[in-house]
Amino acid sequence: MTETATKTRSKSEALYERARAVIPGGVNSPARAMKAVESDPLFIARADGAYLFDVDGGEYIDYVGSWGPMILGHRHPRVLAAIESELRNGTSYGAPCRLEVEMAELVGKLVPSMEMVRMVNSGTEATMSALRLARAYTGKKRLIKFDGCYHGHGDSFLVKAGSGLATLGISSSPGVPEEFSSLTVSIPYNDVDALNEAFEKHDDIAAVIFEPVVGNAGVILPEQKFLKALRELTEANKALLICDEVMTGFRVALGGAQQMYDIKPDLTCLGKIIGAGLPVGAYGGKKEIMERVAPSGDVYQAGTLSGNPLAMAAGLAQLQALREKPPYEKLTKITDKLAEKISEAASSARGPKVTINHVCGMISVFLTDEKVVDFDSAAKSDTTLFGKLWRALLEEGVYWPPSQFEAAFPSTMHSDKEIDATAKAFEAAFKSLS
């Protein structure tokens, strides 16, 4: 246990009680409610580098990292300085500003498939807008997605969805009209035959949306033949390929997973990462397609806070830091080492069988000995045991994502010290399970 980790949670408990009276479930996003791990949320007072500090004075090595944006750790000096300096000019104008142009130019340089970019305020907004555009551009209606992938909470995506839904053991939501979900076909990830069949069965497919590395069912890596089929079949059937890089963009490589795996999507969705933790999203792609977006085109999509100067300043600062000194070799080594040490901890503690999937900056420890290649194999994990493991890790000072169906996000601030402490915590937690 880290020296300052504490089991006293009275202040968090008191805040949670107040929160439940005025916020549904006491949280503003179900993923942080800790229900699946039979715990209550910690209320966070501050964060620094690789650490979170709760309101009771507890200190935790953080692997949530605001669900992805904290590639360089919390409170990166450049990001803080950019926000502080921009803040003096104002907070929102409802009119264009220079930083939006710089952001679109930089995103286009780093992710060349994004010839034109529209800023929005979240990943959910990005995917909903990209889907509307794909439908308008192709003149078709149907969407293909993959089981366990999550593309935000837009109606069309809540079919066999991962992330918070998989965590709660549901796959859709009341309130989504059947007419909407009937236009979404969800098939297993990495399954080329299912993809072929879906295209054979439906001649009205507007788009295929996919996570190039799944994070929302835990980490699942794409097979090359699957990625090849995605591009070939969408092209052959005049459907658009939408790459959801909300979690992978600028994290697994400077040019995202599309650079890493040489994917050429028509549209790309980005999220929280381009705001370095401030609320942002973006979608972009081929000029010919993006020019259909209003006001240059007829596809309507808008947002008062889109391109907000503070969010642009923060995001640009992080992207510039990543570009000037790419941390990807280092982050890959950190993630590899973490995977190796957790695997060793499981063996030396004679703990449960684990399957560890990982890529630069993303990792999942599945409590199953089977290979995890899609949602069905991820779902073979022992989720009750995962809850116990999670609670034991928290007692040891490690804040791991509170779901078997989410990715953990190490940052460049996770040095040997934090990795060794995490490995020790896993060993103790695994031992406590047997």
Residues tagged active-site: 150, 244, 272
Quick one: 31 or 260, whose CB is closer to ligand HOZ?
31
> CA 97 → CA 74, 111, 212, 314, 327, distances in Å?
26, 22, 32, 14, 29
Dist CA 407 CA 335 (whole Å): 12
The one among 83, 126, 247, 280 contacting ligand HOZ by CB under 6 A: 247
* Least gap, CB of 235 to ligand HOZ (angstroms): 28
Query: Is there binding between residue 31 and ligand HOZ (CB under 6 A)?
Result: yes
| Shortest Cβ 123–ligand HOZ spacing (Å) | 7
Residues 260 and 170: their CA atoms lie apart, in Å, by 32
Q: Which of 121, 124, 156, 163 touches ligand HOZ by CB under 6 A?
A: 163
Residue 74, helix vs strand vs coil: strand
Q: Does 67 bind ligand HOZ (CB under 6 A)?
A: yes
Taking the C-alpha atoms of 108, 363, 63 and 325 in order, what is their torsion angle to the nearest 10 degrees?
-40
Q: Which of 26, 58, 154, 164 binds ligand HOZ (CB under 6 A)?
A: 164
Nearer to ligand HOZ, 205 or 247 (CB): 247
Q: How crowded is residue 82: how many other Cβ atoms within 10 Å of its Cβ?
A: 23
CA atoms within a 13 Å half-sphere pointing along the CA-CB vector of 385 = 17
Q: How many residues bind ligand HOZ (CB under 6 A)?
A: 9
User: For ligand HOZ, which is the closer residue by CB, 64 or 239?
Assistant: 64
Residue 372 burial (CB count, 10 A): 23
63 near ligand HOZ, judged by CB under 6 A: no
Binding to ligand HOZ in span 390-419, by CB under 6 A: 406
Strand, coil or helix: what is 225?
helix
Q: Where are the beta strands (DSSP E) in 232-319?
A: 240-244, 267-270, 281-285
Of these, 14, 17, 24, 29, which contacts ligand HOZ (CB under 6 A)? 29
Least separation, in Å, of the C-beta of 115 and ligand HOZ?
26
206 to 235, contacts with ligand HOZ by CB under 6 A? 216
Q: Helix crossing, 416-433 with 383-395: angle to 10°?
A: 130
Least Cβ distance, residue 8 to ligand HOZ (angstroms): 26
Residues that bind ligand HOZ (CB under 6 A): 29, 31, 67, 150, 163-164, 216, 247, 406
